[in-house]
Structure 1
């Protein structure tokens, strides 16, 4: 594990407080309980074998699960957990497209975004985006896919359910060793309104802080291994 963060400064500035203990103190008791559950499950699997694979799941793999994948991998890197330790994925119960509003929000948070210049996300095309958070780590690839297809693990992964619809309508997650409900309110309700950008950024920041706590506490615990 590397103790020096290689995550770009604008991204760390978006998160604000980068001491995971202080971030955890700012969470509500209910959210701390959710964060603790995921940390415990990941720690258990990490002590058994590496890497641990996390697949974040919401219905369309368009907003919340994309945020969670990107922020979890970024937080892991910040705290010195490499992809030999933790690898993050995302998926849906059906495939649609990664919503351009999600990507725009992550760009505002400091990620460097690239994609095929001929792609047309405004038409609903399932565009492949590369989101870079560091010059020393590979980018996170964002596109919509079913949770156990196309670049995602098909077995021995932890399923993290990010929306209540997917959690309720997917009683069995094929191939998962563990299942954790880490539910978030969908920012979709703000689409097309004046609050759109603020709502997406608020959800992005909530997820960023919670992944910061998970990966920070996990990295500290693993130092005793």
Structure 2
């Protein structure tokens, strides 16, 4: 395992995520992603994962950031991207949730679509996050798995150019709780679920390698 000095609060969040139960039916969903990653590693090929939801604002951003963090933590070479079918912005509620999880985040203005630098360690390069379409030049991969994180994108994007494998890993949208007393709790709950499942995925890959 690559030695990565995670920020203390983030390390605590990861320990908490490891304790989250993953139902058998979710493990079956995640097995497709695990098998794809393992097959690429077995062939000595790059692992490129593009997490896609409609607006690239919440679930796909959570997924990219947690997947890249966990892959680096386990020393598994993977390039994790995210995108959508239209550009909006990385939702500030999701950004706040990641900060509560222990990530350190800075940003630069870019009109209505700020560009965020997300750090899990002082020793790491930042994960660059902003809303973009799935084939934005920032997603520098010709061959990738399209990991569909929302039902709308999965059902309304029948064809995604460049995709080697289409893998539905859908999550409920915390947007439903925007403006309610449960807002922060539900964003943190979804982030923790995604963290837990990405930890499971890359741990399984590490164990099978």
TM over 0.5, shorter chain: yes
- The question of whether the paired residues in 2 share the 8 Å contact of 1:154 and 1:174 is answered with no
Q: Aligned residue for 1:72?
A: 67
- The question of whether the paired residues in 2 share the 8 Å contact of 1:12 and 1:18 is answered with no
Gaps of 5+ in 1: none
Gaps of 5+ in 2: none
SS state at 2:38 partner: helix
Cα distance, 1:162 vs structure 2: 0.1
CA distance in 1 between counterparts of 2:79 and 2:6 reads 16
Q: Aligned residue for 1:13?
A: 12
- The answer to whether 1:176 aligns with 2:163 is yes
How high is the TM-score relative to the length of structure 1? Answer: 0.88
- The question of whether the paired residues in 1 share the 8 Å contact of 2:4 and 2:123 is answered with no
Among residues 152, 157, 165, which one is paired with 1:165 in the alignment?
152
SS state at 2:102 partner: coil
Question: How many residues of Structure 1 are paired with residues of Structure 2 in the alignment?
Answer: 209
Among residues 79, 82, 85, which one is paired with 1:87 in the alignment?
79
Among residues 53, 57, 80, which one is paired with 1:58 in the alignment?
53
Cα distance, 1:188 vs structure 2: 0.3
Q: Deviations over 1:157-215 (max 9, x none)?
A: 11100000000000111101111000000000011111110010000000000000111
CA distance in 2 between counterparts of 1:29 and 1:195 reads 27
4+ residue runs over 2 A deviation: 4-9, 15-19
How high is the TM-score relative to the length of structure 2? Answer: 0.94
1:111-150 to structure 2, matched below 5 A, reads: 111-116=103-108, 119=109, 125-150=112-137
- The question of whether the paired residues in 2 share the 8 Å contact of 1:60 and 1:96 is answered with yes
- The question of whether the paired residues in 1 share the 8 Å contact of 2:48 and 2:141 is answered with no
CA distance in 2 between counterparts of 1:134 and 1:154 reads 25
Two-structure CA RMSD over aligned residues (Å): 1.7
Q: Deviations over 1:106-144 (max 9, x none)?
A: 00000001012xx38xxx810000010012221111100
SS state at 1:16 partner: helix
- Judge which range, 132-141 or 44-53, deviates more: 44-53
